[in-house]
Every structure is written in structure tokens, then in C-alpha cells.
Amino acid sequence: MVIAMFGFVILLSGKASSRTVENDEVPSRPQQIEEHYQRAKVRTSDLENGVTAVIGKIYINASAKNIWAAITDYNNQKHFVPKLIDSGLISDNGREQVMFEKGKTGYLFFKKTVYIKLSIRGDYPQRLSFRQIEGDFKIYEGDWLIDRAPDGKGFVLTFQAKIKPNFFAPPMFVRKVQEHDLPMVLTAMKKRAESAESSLRASRASSQKKFPPPSGNSIIAE
């Protein structure tokens, strides 16, 4: 599961979603949809009291199951998510998961190591809601969404959050960090899920070659 923190994104922890992503300046022609979301789209805005809103989307040509597996791979995210130093699952009672992440953040001259502990609840594999229970933010809460893409083939992974650091950082700076780092995290999730999907398809193809289904004229001995 990935979550975008102040300068780096934290991964979060889920049946395939039947919802369809509503038009967000998405091309009307189905063949253009995948191309539209191949590269991460990120938008940010300033809310009241110094809170920053961020939303990012990316198209993933993989099953919802493999996308969910990528964003919930807490113990291995440091190996494939940029700027993560460490992460892991702390507890899981079946209703709520608690995980932590530590990573590097920064933009231009500002550099900082950030820690966050998250409470996570979700509806597999459509939505994950998260909120900080300990760490370097006054506010860090949001959702991961996995929605069927309009082309009916892949899925669109969405990250949306409200963020307010517990250290001095002007909202404009927070926006710049999110616009820089969130696309890297979304791209990492895309590569991870599509790689797993490719491996699964190759395994199935190999198995079919070794054990082809019987032809219609095959005679099965009693």
C-alpha cells in the first residue's frame, strides 16, 4: 500500500472493482485511455489551515489483485519504491492494519527524513483508507482507489490525500514535493503490478504448452 507523504510516498495496504473512473479530461475514444494514463497524472490544491490536497492517477494493465498486492507489500516496498528507507507491517487484527514507513523527502535545498505510522482499513480490492496515528504530520489521511478503466481492460490506480506537516513547510513547497514524488511512486506500483501480471501470463502459457487440453476427438479410457 502506498501513501504519499510530504516528500515521499508511503505504500498502503485488498475482488475487482466494478466502478468506472469518471471522465477527468479523459479521451472519449477507448484506445486512447490507456495512453492517457500511462504516465501518472497528479493535481494538488491548497485547503484551509495550511492543508494540502493531492490526487494522482495512473493506468495499470494488470488485475486488481496484482495491483493490491503491489501496494500492500509493506516489507518489500523499500526495494522498489523510490526514497523509501524502511517499511513494515506492525499489526493486523483482520479489521485494521498498522504499518510504518521511513523515507527521505525534500525539494531543492530542503532535505528531511520522515517517519509515519498509519492505521489502514479497506474494502479488498477497491478502496484503502488510511490515517496517521503517529509521525511527522499533523494531518495525513486519504484513500487508495482501484477502479476499472473505461476501456474495460485495465484499472486506474488513484491516490488521494490531505496532508499537513508537523514541521515548517509552506503549502506551496508541499505541493511541489507531491508533484515531484507522487508520480515516481505511482509508476513504481504500475511496474510492480504489471511485472507480476506478465509473470503469471507467462507461467500459464508455459503450463498450457506442457499440458495442452484434450482435443474434441480424444478418447478417454474408461
Q: Give the pLDDT confidence score for residue 194 in this predicted structure.
A: 96
Q: Is the dihedral of CA 61, 64, 65, 71 positive or negative?
A: positive
SS (H, E, C) the chain: CEEECCCCEEECCCCCCCCECCCCCCCCCHHHHHHHHHCCEEEEEECHHHCEEEEEEEEECCCHHHHHHHHCCHHHHHHCCCCEEEEEEEEECCCCEEEEEEEEEEECCEEEEEEEEEEEEEECCCEEEEEEEEECEEEEEEEEEEEECCCCCCEEEEEEEEEEECCCCCHHHHHHHHHHHHHHHHHHHHHHHHHHHHHHHHHHHHHHHHCCCCCCCCCCCC
Alpha carbon distance 206, 215 (integer Å): 18
My answer on whether omega of the bond before 150 falls inside 30° of 0, hence cis, is no
Grid coordinates belonging to 9 = 510516498
Burial zone of 212 (CB within 10 Å; 0-12 exposed, 13-18 middle, 19+ buried): exposed
Q: Give the pLDDT confidence score for residue 92 in this predicted structure.
A: 96
Q: Give the pLDDT confidence score for residue 210 in this predicted structure.
A: 65
Q: Give the pLDDT confidence score for residue 60 in this predicted structure.
A: 96
pLDDT one-digit tens code per residue, 17-27: 434 444 455 55
Alpha carbon distance 146, 136 (integer Å): 27
Grid coordinates belonging to 30 = 477507448
Alpha carbon distance 127, 168 (integer Å): 31
**Are 163 and 178 within 8 A, CB to CB?**
yes
Q: Give the pLDDT confidence score for residue 191 in this predicted structure.
A: 96
* Whole-number Cα distances in Å, 106 to 5, 77, 149, 176, 180: 11, 19, 33, 10, 10
Per-block mean pLDDT, blocks of 10 residues, the chain (222 long):
43 39 52 70 95 96 96 92 95 95 80 93 94 97 96 93 91 90 95 94 70 54 36
Alpha carbon distance 185, 192 (integer Å): 11
